[in-house]
Amino acid sequence: MTSSRQAAGSPARRVTLADVARLAGVSTSTVSIAFGEGGPVSDAMRLRVHAAAAELGYTGPDPRAASLRRGRSGLIGVVLEERLGEAFRDPVRISLLDGIAEEVGAAGSGLALLGDVAAGPLSIATAPVDAVILFGCSTGTLDSIEQARRRGLPLVELEGRVESDVFAVDSDNRGASRAAAQHLYDLGHRRVATLTLPLDRPRVHRALAAADPVPGHNFVAVERLLGVREVFPEAHTIVCAASLVEEGRVAGHELLGGADAPRYGEGGACAASARPTAIIAQSDLLALGMIRAAGELGLRVPADVSVIGFDGIRLDGLSDRDLSTMIQPAQEKGRAAGRAALALVAGEQPERLRYHSVLHAGDTTGPVPDP
C-alpha cells in the first residue's frame, strides 16, 4: 500500500551519486561530501543536494563502491566453526558475541558470520571483512589463523593458545580452574572428579584416565583440566561431548550411579566410599546437569556431593540454586575483542589482554561429608 517505485518494466539503472550531482548541478565530490558526516559543505549546498537526491530516490552511497574506495567494508568477521544452531546453544559464546556486537556496533561497523575455512565458499578467504575475530576455544582454529594471515587481515583470537603470537583476549583458565579445585580442597574434599568441555574432534563422551596425557586442541578445556590436576592429580575425568545440561547429567549418572548402574534414571547411587565427594565441571551447564543427576540418584547437593561449575553465566531456569562457579567476565571479554579488532583495523597495535575469573562460592559446594 506504500509507495512502490520502478514497478513497471524498465531495467532501471540504479541511481548513482553522479545522477544526483547532475541534477543538483554540482560535482560528484560535493555530493559525496554532502552525504558524509562532517565534511566542509555549506548548509545551503547540503540541502540542495539532499533535495536532488530525494527527487531521484537516491538513498545514499552504495556501500559496495564505498568500501572499495575506502578499503574498508565496515564488517568484522566472526568465525564460527560449528553450525549456528550448535554454536549459539552455548551461553558463553552468546555473551562473548554480545560484547563484540556492542563494541563493534557502537563504532558503526557490523558483524559477519563466517564459517570454517573448509565450510562454505564464504569464509575468511573470501568475505569482505576488515578484521577477523575467532574463538580459539574451538578446535581447528589454526587453518583460520593461517588464512587470515595470508590475506593480511587483522586477527583477534578469543581464548587463544597462550603461546600464540596472534593478538588475543583470554582468561587465566588454568589458574581459575586451580582456584575452583583449591576451593574444594579447602573444604576437605580429596576424592574429586571433573567434567571437561569437548577436547577434540570428533566430540565424543568418554572417560580419561588420570595418568593419560591431556589431548586435544581445545585450549580452554585443556587448560582447565590441567588446573584441576595441579590440585587433584588423580581426579577422575570425563570428557563431555558438548556443554549441555544433558551431557552433565549423563556424566553424573556415570560418576555417581556406580559402575553397575544399568540404566540411568532408576535411582540408587553407588557406595559412598567409591563415589567422588565433589565434582568440578568446566561449564555451568555441565554442573547443572550433574546436580540434576545427583537429585535423580537421591543424593543431596552439597551434603552428599559438592558441585562447582565454570562461567558464571546467569542461566534461565536455574532460579532455585545458587551455583558455585568461577565467574568470568564473558561480555567484557567480547567487548575487549571487539575493541581490539577495531584498533587493529585503525592500524594501532593493542596489547594482549588477559582476564581473570573470580570464585563465587554458592550453595552447591560444602564441606566433605563424614566418611
Closest CA to 134 of 167, 165, 157, 114: 157
Per-residue binding string, its own copies, 259-298, x by CB under 8 A, is: ------x-------------------x--xx--x------
Q: Which is nearer to DNA, 71 or 262 (CB)?
A: 71
**Residue recorded with cell 553397575:** 260
Q: Find the binder of DNA among 65, 106, 272, 274 (CB under 7 A).
A: 65
β partners of residue 195: 238, 281
- Residue 133 · residue 148 · CB < 8 Å: no
CA distance 55 to 268: 78
Q: Read off φ and ψ for residue 205, nearest 5 degrees.
A: -85, 120
Contacted by 325, from its own copies, DNA, none: CB < 5 to 8 Å by type: none
- Cβ of residue 53: shortest distance to DNA, in angstroms? 10
Binding of its own copies at residue 150 (CB under 8 A)? yes
Q: Find the binder of its own copies among 16, 22, 28, 128 (CB under 8 A).
A: 128
Q: Which residues contact 230 (CB under 8 A, 6 or more apart)?
A: 174, 178, 181
Q: Which is nearer to DNA, 31 or 92 (CB)?
A: 31
Binding of its own copies at residue 57 (CB under 8 A)? yes
Q: Which three cell numbers stand for residue 182?
A: 583449591
Please report, in angstroms and rounded to a whole number, the separation of the first and last CA atoms in the chain.
Answer: 77
CA distance 255 to 235: 12
Q: How many residues in the shown chain lie near DNA by CB under 7 A?
A: 30
Contacted by 16, from its own copies, DNA, none: CB < 5 to 8 Å by type: DNA
CA distance 40 to 107: 22
Binding of DNA at residue 130 (CB under 7 A)? no
Contacted by 97, from DNA, its own copies, none: CB < 5 to 8 Å by type: its own copies
CA distance 189 to 368: 5
CA angle 42, 48, 54 (to 5 degrees): 135
Cα distances (angstroms) measured from residue 210 to each of 19, 233, 235, 236, 241: 72, 7, 6, 6, 18
Contact set for its own copies, span 225-264 (CB under 8 A): 244-246, 249
Q: Find the binder of DNA among 1, 7, 8, 44 (CB under 7 A).
A: 44
CA angle 347, 136, 310 (to 5 degrees): 120
- Cβ of residue 31: shortest distance to DNA, in angstroms? 7
Binding of its own copies at residue 11 (CB under 8 A)? no
Q: Which three cell numbers stand for residue 147?
A: 588464512
Structural element, H or E, at residue 184: helix 173-186
User: Per CB under 8 A, which region of 78-86, 196-204, 224-232, 321-329 contacts its own copies?
Assistant: 78-86
Q: Find the binder of DNA among 9, 25, 152, 371 (CB under 7 A).
A: 25
Contacted by 4, from its own copies, DNA, none: CB < 5 to 8 Å by type: its own copies
Contacted by 370, from its own copies, DNA, none: CB < 5 to 8 Å by type: none
Binding of its own copies at residue 110 (CB under 8 A)? yes
Binding of DNA at residue 66 (CB under 7 A)? yes
Binding of DNA at residue 164 (CB under 7 A)? no
Amino acid letter for position 370 = D
Rounded (10°) CA dihedral 306, 308, 312, 316: -50
The count of C-alpha atoms lying within 13 angstroms of the C-alpha of 248, restricted to the half-sphere facing its C-beta, is: 26
The site for DNA (CB under 7 A) is made up of 13-14, 16-18, 25-30, 32-33, 35-36, 40-42, 44-45, 58, 61-62, 64-66, 68-71
The site for its own copies (CB under 8 A) is made up of 1-6, 14, 57, 59-60, 62-65, 67-68, 71, 73-75, 83-85, 88-89, 94-95, 97-98, 101-102, 105-106, 108-115, 119-122, 125-128, 146, 149-152, 165, 244-246, 249, 265, 285, 288-289, 292, 316-317, 319-320, 331
